[in-house]
Structure 1
């Protein structure tokens, strides 16, 4: 795979470090990351999302979910003390995994459910009131009144200069 040099992006931009890091990380780890476990990201509403991971064979005690610095980490650790099996074919992986998701600003994890081999992680995007767009009202000033004020200022200046 060809590598892409993002140095010009770092050099010519200010404040987009996180975006450049995400692009760089996505392009360099694409071949390193396992496809296990498969997952879906579903949009439930304008600000609601669900990440569903297929974690067949994992119990609730073997799964761990953490959020740190805008990164959601989901990991599963299988107990090595389980008895050995003699499989003719093993299509259901029972391997330890870690899957990471970068969360956008103001996206929070609200809960998680494990049902029928699917781990559903609920997310909500809550933008603070101070960051939401505000409508600014425009006051209308009477043009005749404003015109009279300007004339008075001009007359006062001409009277001061004459004196």
Structure 2
């Protein structure tokens, strides 16, 4: 498989290193990925999302959810069974797993629920007021604009 060199992106941009790292990791083939457990990512409402993982056979105590540095990590590890069972066929996976999801800026985890073998993690995008778009009124005179600038400079001094 051909690889793509993203180093020019690192050289010509400032502040986009996380995006470049995400692209780089997405383009790398991960041979260890098994696809277990299957999951859905759902848009619930504007700025609200849900990640649902099929974790049949796992209980709340077997699951762990962590968020660190913009990465949501869900791990599952079955407790050791004390009783010995003799299986004629064993098709239900009780293997440990770890799933990671890269979260965009300002995405926060609101909670998690386990019901009918589905673990749902709620997410919300909280954009700070300073980052939200703001409407700028257009004046017919540049004189007013310059006066407002000089007032703001005086108050800053």
TM-score (normalizing by structure 2): 0.81
Distance 1:20 1:82, change over 3 A: farther
1:99 is aligned to 99
Distance 1:94 1:116 in 2: 16
1:6 and 2:6 equivalent?
A: yes
Match of 1:135 in 2: 135
CA distance in 1, matches of 2:91, 2:3: 33
- Alignment of 1:79 onto 2:79: yes
Separation of aligned partners in 1, 2:109 and 2:116: 21
Query: Hey, what does 2:119 align to over in structure 1?
Result: 119
Q: CA deviation at 1:29?
A: 4.9
Q: Secondary structure at the match of 2:45?
A: coil
Other-structure match for 1:17: 17
Indicate the residue corresponding to 1:42 in structure 2.
42
In structure 2, do the counterparts of structure 1 residues 88 and 132 end up closer, same or farther at CA, with 3 Å as the change threshold?
A: same
Offset at 1:28?
A: 2.4
What are the within-5 Å matches in structure 2 for residues 58-73 of structure 1?
58-73=58-73
Q: Give the structure 2 partner of residue 109 of structure 1.
A: 109
Structure 1 residue 20: deviation in Å?
1.3
Shift of 1:118: 0.1
TM-score normalised by length of structure 1: 0.79
Deviation digits for residues 90-142 of structure 1, max 9, x if unmatched?
A: 2221011110000000000001000000000000001001100111122345x
Unaligned runs of 5+ in 1: 142-148, 150-163
Which one has the largest radius of gyration? 1
State the alpha-carbon separation in 2 of the partners of residues 78 and 101 from structure 1.
21
In 2: Cα distance, 1:75 partner to 1:130 partner: 35
User: Unmatched 5+ residue regions in structure 2?
Assistant: 144-157
